[in-house]
């Protein structure tokens, strides 16, 4: 399994490039392999390992197990509280790259409530409102003539499985999604990557943008597809 790596660091936060397959946080509070890695790397100081901060090992937000990309980690409890508030207030811009099945509109906004039903999530009345914006970077086809859309996605809310559920709802499931996909997925991983986070740093008083390139396995598979010049 590919290991995480630190792609940005200052005295307040660190940004991790999380590989697909690594669980961010367990709901029951057990430490994940990622949290053990963060402790081993010494990103969180020993004297700060207590209470909620210890439970989260400074992790500010979640990424799905199968999603790769930028994950932000706080180095102190006050930093954790401040950045979690910034996420809640939508002051941190979160952008993703995804490959979906079918030919989407060139751009759009999905505004639909998401509700949990047993172990899954779906768009349904009574759920929590979620907002997803997207634009198409390329339309592509494979050798069998199947159509795909390579998207840049921005989420304004942070609901569980938000991107996957929203695009399933529209009829454009993500490639490699074993839960919300087409039911005949053979691609070995979810084609969803958190490629950029940007925010005004409340402690350094300057704008910070952190970028993670598309992982090699996703880039190679994308390159097997033919770009539709009619976009």
Q: Strands 147-155 and 107-117: what pairing?
A: unpaired
**16 beta partners:** 6, 71
Strand, coil or helix: 227:
strand
In this structure, what token pair is assigned to residue 14?
Answer: 């660190």
Please give the Cα distance from 193 to 133 (Å, whole number).
Answer: 15
Among candidate residues 81, 4, 73, the one with its CA nearest the CA of residue 45? 73
Tokens 């952008």 label which residue?
Answer: 95
17 catalytically annotated: no
Among candidate residues 17, 64, 66, 177, the one labeled active-site is: 64
Spatial neighbors of 23 by CB under 8 A, at least 6 apart, are: 32, 33, 34, 65
Burial class (CB in 10 A: 0-12, 13-18, 19+), 122: middle
The set of catalytic residues is 64
């Amino acid at each position: 399994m590919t290991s995480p790596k630190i792609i940005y660091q200052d005295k307040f936060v660190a940004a991790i490039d999380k590989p697909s397959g690594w669980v961010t946080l367990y709901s029951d509070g057990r430490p994940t392999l990622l949290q053990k890695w963060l402790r081993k790397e010494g990103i969180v100081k020993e004297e700060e390992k207590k209470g909620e901060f210890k439970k989260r090992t400074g992790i500010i937000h979640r990424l799905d197990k199968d999603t790769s990309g930028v994950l932000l980690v706080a180095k102190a409890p006050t930093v954790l509280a401040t950045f979690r508030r910034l996420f809640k207030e939508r002051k941190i811009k979160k952008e993703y790259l995804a490959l979906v099945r079918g030919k989407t509109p060139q751009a759009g906004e999905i505004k639909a409530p998401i509700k949990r039903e047993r172990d899954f999530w779906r768009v349904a009345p009574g759920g929590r409102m979620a907002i997803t914006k997207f634009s198409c970077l390329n339309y592509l086809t494979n050798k069998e003539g199947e159509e795909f859309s390579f998207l840049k996605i921005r989420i304004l809310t942070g609901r569980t499985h938000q991107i996957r559920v929203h695009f399933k709802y529209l009829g454009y499931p993500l490639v490699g999604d074993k839960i919300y996909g087409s039911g005949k997925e053979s691609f070995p991983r979810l084609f969803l990557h958190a490629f950029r986070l940007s925010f005004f740093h409340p402690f350094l008083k300057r704008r910070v943008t952190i970028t993670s390139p598309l992982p090699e396995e996703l880039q190679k598979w994308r390159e097997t597809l033919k770009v539709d010049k009619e976009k």
